[in-house]
């Protein structure tokens, strides 16, 4: 509905509004595409910049969406959703737009391929189109146009990459061109942060570990030819990394999904063939976090009560001790899970158990890939007193002597 500008109450905190003139010019040219959002008392919830722009244009009334607000918290949520967390174009959307623009112009003007003369003219529009001209039109560098076209082209070929960032895609393309250099993924600090798992390691699997974690573990704590054991191998990330880093590997799972993972219930102890392992990598289910996604076996760690879970974890540590080489390492990764209030800090509990048998060498923070919270989450975390979890703990132990 249309509302008079004088009736709209703009009570939003003053913030840097950026270039209002540009916005006003665009509204003047194409009209107001997106109406303002008000509550039933005409309080402005979303559209502060648009409101300013049309005020400057001297409009008397404007199209508005009216929301029936329940309370101030609701108003606040709408404002956060609309104003603070509104998503800018992603890298991929931006790259695709640039590529489409370039292609459209090439269709109109005719294009010059690499090495061809660019001073030719098309009868209708004059000079043929080049990336340089796209760059000039969009006021960006020619390098930016060429990178955008590369990224957008890669996503057309691999639609499953659409959620990646432009940087990640460029990395993958570089690895494909030049071969993977593991040193690009080594982290010298005790925060091992990776935007997303490296493609090509491990099958798609619930709770799959980024290959970069395994790369770091092998790099720091093993040498070529050493034996690595992963008794809860899931999608097989450890196997694939061991292959490229020339480590021997024994991998098991209660429900194997690949032929190179043997079926084995690790609550029965480690098979003898694991003796003298230099590194045991334990990536158990984070208790019941993914219950239902793993096998229904009674001894699947995801199906146990919390007390039983810790009993089995203790048994795992005891058994791991027996097969580790004298100076071998045990890497244990786990995140906390939600309780009614707060979280169950599995890492802390498991550390207390493990420290009876092992010395802790390092505790490494492994963030989940970038998470995006919404205004709804802000309200929910306060209401439920539940701070969200953004990382897992990776503990590296050595046997007590
Ligand atoms: C977090 S996933 C491991 C993911 C794996 N690291 C990857 O990168 O794909 C945990 C795995 O533990 C396995 N598991 C749970 N209980 C087990 C048990 N008692 N014996 C062997 N494997 C078990 C599950 O089947 C699941 O595959």
Q: Which residue lies with its CA nearest to atom 15 of ligand 1?
A: 300
Model confidence at 256: pLDDT above 60: yes
- Residues 133, 136, 138: CA angle, nearest 5 degrees: 110
Residue 202 in contact with residue 213, Cβ under 8 Å? no
Distance 383 CA to ligand 1 centre (A): 34
Q: Which residue lies with its CA nearest to atom 27 of ligand 1?
A: 234
List, in order of start, the domains of the chain with CATH numbers: 2-84 (3.90.1530.30), 91-173 (no CATH), 181-399 (3.40.50.150)
* Interatomic CA distance for residues 374 and 148, integer angstroms: 28
**Who contacts 388 (Cβ-Cβ below 8 Å, separation ≥6)?**
371, 373, 377, 381
For the segment 104-134, what is each residue's pLDDT rounded down to a tens digit? 888 888 776 555 555 555 555 557 788 888 8
For the segment 169-190, what is each residue's pLDDT rounded down to a tens digit? 888 888 888 888 899 899 999 9
For the segment 304-340, what is each residue's pLDDT rounded down to a tens digit? 999 999 999 999 999 999 999 999 999 999 999 988 7
Distance 205 CA to ligand 1 centre (A): 10
281 C-beta closer than 6 A to ligand 1: no
* Interatomic CA distance for residues 282 and 265, integer angstroms: 13
205 C-beta closer than 6 A to ligand 1: yes
267 C-beta closer than 6 A to ligand 1: yes
Mean pLDDT across the chain, nearest whole number?
87
285 C-beta closer than 6 A to ligand 1: yes
234 C-beta closer than 6 A to ligand 1: yes
Query: How do beta strands 277-282 and 227-230 pair?
Result: parallel
DSSP state of 340: S
């Amino acid at each position: 509905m249309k509302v008079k500008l004088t009736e709209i109450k703009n009570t939003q905190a003053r913030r840097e509004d950026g270039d209002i003139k540009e916005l006003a010019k665009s509204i003047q040219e194409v009209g107001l595409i997106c109406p303002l959002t008000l509550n039933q008392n005409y309080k402005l919830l979303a559209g502060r910049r648009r409101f300013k722009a049309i005020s400057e244009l001297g409009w008397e009334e404007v199209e508005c969406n009216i929301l029936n607000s329940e309370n101030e918290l609701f108003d606040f949520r709408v404002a956060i959703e609309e104003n603070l967390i509104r998503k800018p174009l992603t890298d991929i959307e931006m790259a695709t737009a640039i590529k489409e623009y370039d292609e459209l112009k090439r269709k109109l003007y005719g294009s010059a391929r690499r090495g061809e003369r660019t001073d030719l003219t098309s009868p209708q529009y004059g000079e043929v189109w080049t990336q340089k001209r796209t760059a000039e039109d969009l006021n960006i560098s020619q390098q930016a146009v060429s990178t955008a076209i590369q990224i957008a082209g890669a996503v057309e070929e691999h639609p499953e990459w659409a959620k990646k960032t432009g940087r990640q895609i460029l990395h993958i393309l570089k690895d494909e061109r030049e071969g993977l250099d593991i040193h690009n993924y080594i982290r010298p600090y005790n925060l091992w942060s990776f935007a997303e798992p490296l493609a090509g390691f491990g099958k798609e699997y619930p709770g799959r570990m980024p290959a970069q974690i395994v790369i770091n573990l092998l790099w720091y704590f093993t040498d070529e030819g050493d034996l690595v054991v992963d008794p809860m191998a899931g999608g097989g990330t450890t196997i694939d990394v061991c292959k490229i880093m020339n480590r021997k590997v024994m991998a098991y799972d209660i429900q194997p999904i690949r032929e190179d993972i043997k079926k084995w219930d690790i609550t029965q102890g480690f098979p003898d063939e694991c003796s003298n392992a230099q590194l045991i990598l334990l990536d158990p289910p984070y208790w019941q976090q993914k219950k239902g996604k793993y096998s229904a076996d009674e001894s699947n760690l995801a199906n146990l009560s919390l007390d039983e879970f810790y009993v089995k974890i203790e048994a795992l540590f005891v058994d791991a001790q027996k097969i580790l080489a004298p100076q071998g390492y045990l890497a244990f990764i786990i995140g906390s899970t939600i309780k009614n209030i707060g979280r169950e800090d599995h890492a802390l509990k498991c550390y207390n158990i493990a420290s009876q048998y092992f010395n802790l060498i390092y505790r490494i923070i492994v963030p989940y890939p970038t998470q995006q919270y919404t205004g709804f989450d802000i309200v929910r975390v306060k209401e439920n007193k539940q701070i969200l979890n953004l990382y897992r703990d990776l503990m590296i132990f050595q046997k007590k002597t």
